[in-house]
Amino acid sequence: MVPNTDSIPGMDLNYSKPKVPNVDPEEEKKKFEKTKKEIEKLKNFTLKKFRYILAFGILPPQAVPKFIDEEEAPKESKDSVHIGIIVPDDKSKEVAKIKQEIIKEVERSKEKVWVHVFTPAEIWEICMDQKFELSGAIAMSYPLYDKGILGALRVAEIHKSLVLQKFEKYVVSYVIGGSLIRGDAVKTSDVDVFVIINDTDVKRMPRRELLERLRGIIYQYVAEATQIAGVKNRLEPQIYLLTDFWDAVKDAHPVMFTFIRDGVPLYDRGTFMPWKSLLRMGKLKPSPEAIDMFMSMGDGVINRSKKTLLSDVFTNIFWGVTTPAQAILMLGGYPPPTSKELVNAFKKAFFETKMIEKKYVDFLEKVVKTWKDYEHERIKEISGTEIDKLLKETEEYLKRLKELRKEIEKKFQEKTVNQLNDDVFGLLKNILGKKSQEKLVLEFEKKCVKESKFTNQHLRILKEIINSKKEFKKEKSDSHKIDRVRKDADILIKDLIEFIQRKELATMNKGKMILKMKDKKVEIVNANGKTFLFEGNKIKKIKEKIEESTLEEFEKALLEQREKNEVEVDSKIFEVLKKEYGDFEIVF
């Protein structure tokens, strides 16, 4: 497609007939403003009385003379508002009755309103008779109610006008088809149209290039027509060159035969209707080559169908069975295995832990093995009975996996809520001492939150952690809620650890000393009446002599020291140090 193409060699694209005036719905609306209320009442009456009505609209004034016989119609009809109503084809026998009922209502209102009732079949007949001005007038009615037929007709009519203004002497036929003609069009239905362009006198460019350029220009008009029509229907134009179209007809292309059989022309230069008549008469017959081609489509259909069936069944079942198994393994905390390792990993994780029955492991193994046999073409076909059995087993297996998922999630949730409680209250005991949970919460609020060491958000998170454990025991919790509590708990735990570290650092710095000797420096820390010596990566403690110690013993002394305001230092340790290292200088 080449958009914005203004000229095509061999085609005079500047040719256009005088533009057919477009109907402006807003102007028409203003003209009928005086009778708007009465017309609205008439519409409501009509729709309430005849609920099956497809459309109710006001016909364009300039087109009215074409709908009435000037000799038979009274003079006042020329000054009337002409209403067009479309009813389903199956109500065609009731048209006279419908019209009579509506006319009675019009007479009661004393408004100058003229009523026209159509069925879709009558509209298509108007098109078949090539009375395109009449069908165009119906399409351009101002819609007061529309189930979809008016909107679809309107967007096609506007698009047709745009195409004709650009290409009229080259357009052979502009035909509508699809749901619009079948009678099941709605406000969002696609509108199928076929545009056939005469290329028989185009000699200055290849036909393929011509077709692409034509498509580019005609497709451009789709958006413009949709915008003018103000509808949601999507226009789907198919553009054909006359020579290609005729070749397709001769080759009995099903699309072309359907198009000719069911299509209705909105514009035709005397070619489409003869084709339609010839088809009805059985005169459009496919060539022997076309018959051979379409008959050959049956060759190998059995083998192709079997292969397609095998592919669809085994592909869907294999991935539908193995992928959830991998997901369950990941949920249980295992890395996702390969297809080769899947069965053993699944068996070890869930069967050996008595979380799932053996028949489901066997089924998983069967599916994996069947898939391998299919891949290596050891399975050539499958019966309907076997498919039914596989599908039933798959359904049972997936149902059991969903139950297993709930069991795993429940265990994970239990582990999570318990771990959160243990971690948070373990840290609170580190800060506030060993107390019951109730007292720890009260003291945290009193000594930490109210003294601005922690915020109200921290207190809220703490209470949520406690509440999540209670809700889990009552089975009132769910995975989303617990995950949200876990994320919030990460904030509290991080800030508690940071607080403890700051406190420990302050305690450690309070009793920290550096001994400066001739050739090195060592660090000592006094905590809870004990003195620890740090030399390189080693921790030692000083009593009557220097002994080996551990990080755990040091941290325990620091924890106990936090409860005391003063650091106690035994003077005897300096004698032990002097005996071990000789003279030294103390640096604080």
Q: What residue ranges do the domains of the chain occupy?
A: 23-139, 153-293, 306-313+321-382, 411-505, 511-587
Q: What's the chain's length in residues? A: 588
Same fold, 23-139 and 153-293: yes
Tokens representing 550 are 């551990």
pLDDT at position 265 is 94
Q: What is the CA radius of gyration of the chain?
A: 44
pLDDT at position 524 is 81
Q: Does residue 326 have a pLDDT over 70?
A: yes
156 — pLDDT class (breaks 50, 70, 90) = very high
Residue 231 and residue 144 in contact, taking contact as beta carbons nearer than 8 Å? no
Mean pLDDT of all residues in 454-482: 84
DSSP notation for 304-346: HHHHHHHHHHHHHHHHHHHHHHHHHHHHTTPPPPPHHHHHHHH
pLDDT digits (tens, 9 = 90+) for 307-319: 788 888 888 999 9
Mean pLDDT of all residues in 431-454: 86
- Least confident piece of the model among 19-28, 488-497, 517-526: 19-28
pLDDT at position 431 is 80
Q: What are phi and psi of 118, to 5 degrees?
A: -125, 155
Q: Does residue 459 have a pLDDT over 60?
A: yes
Mean pLDDT of all residues in 98-107: 89
In the predicted model, what is the mean pLDDT of the chain? 82
Burial of 159: CB neighbours in 10 Å, binned 0-12, 13-18, 19+: buried
Distance CA 459, CA 482 (A): 17
pLDDT digits (tens, 9 = 90+) for 166-181: 888 889 999 998 888 8
pLDDT at position 11 is 45
Mean pLDDT of all residues in 200-217: 79
pLDDT digits (tens, 9 = 90+) for 249-302: 777 676 777 888 889 999 999 888 888 888 888 777 666 655 565 566 666 777
pLDDT at position 1 is 35
Torsion of CA 287, 288, 291, 295, to 10 degrees: -160
Mean pLDDT of all residues in 489-499: 87
Q: Which fold has domain 153-293?
A: Beta Polymerase; domain 2 (3.30.460)
CATH number of 23-139: 3.30.460
pLDDT: is 525 or 326 the higher one? 326
pLDDT: is 265 or 430 the higher one? 265
* Beta pairing class for 585-587 and 512-516: antiparallel
User: Which of 224, 231, 63 has the alpha carbon at shortest distance from 147?
Assistant: 231
Distance CA 459, CA 476 (A): 22
Q: Is the pTM of this model over 0.85?
A: no
pLDDT at position 401 is 92
pLDDT at position 367 is 92
User: Which of 574, 548, 443, 559 has the alpha carbon at shortest distance from 500?
Assistant: 559
pLDDT at position 432 is 82
User: Which of 432, 459, 311 has the alpha carbon at shortest distance from 374?
Assistant: 311
User: Which of 76-80, 107-111, 202-206, 566-570: highest mean pLDDT?
Assistant: 107-111
Q: Does residue 6 have a pLDDT over 50?
A: no
Is the alpha carbon torsion for 101, 102, 107, 109 positive or negative? positive
User: Which of 112, 106, 104, 94 has the alpha carbon at shortest distance from 42?
Assistant: 106
pLDDT: is 90 or 6 the higher one? 90
User: Which of 564, 455, 451 has the alpha carbon at shortest distance from 503?
Assistant: 564
70 — pLDDT class (breaks 50, 70, 90) = low
Residue 364 and residue 321 in contact, taking contact as beta carbons nearer than 8 Å? yes
Q: Does residue 370 have a pLDDT over 70?
A: yes
pLDDT at position 288 is 62
Mean pLDDT of all residues in 60-65: 77
pLDDT at position 154 is 93
Percentage of the chain modeled with pLDDT above 90: 23
pLDDT: is 40 or 257 the higher one? 40
pLDDT at position 73 is 54
Burial of 354: CB neighbours in 10 Å, binned 0-12, 13-18, 19+: exposed
pLDDT: is 6 or 1 the higher one? 6
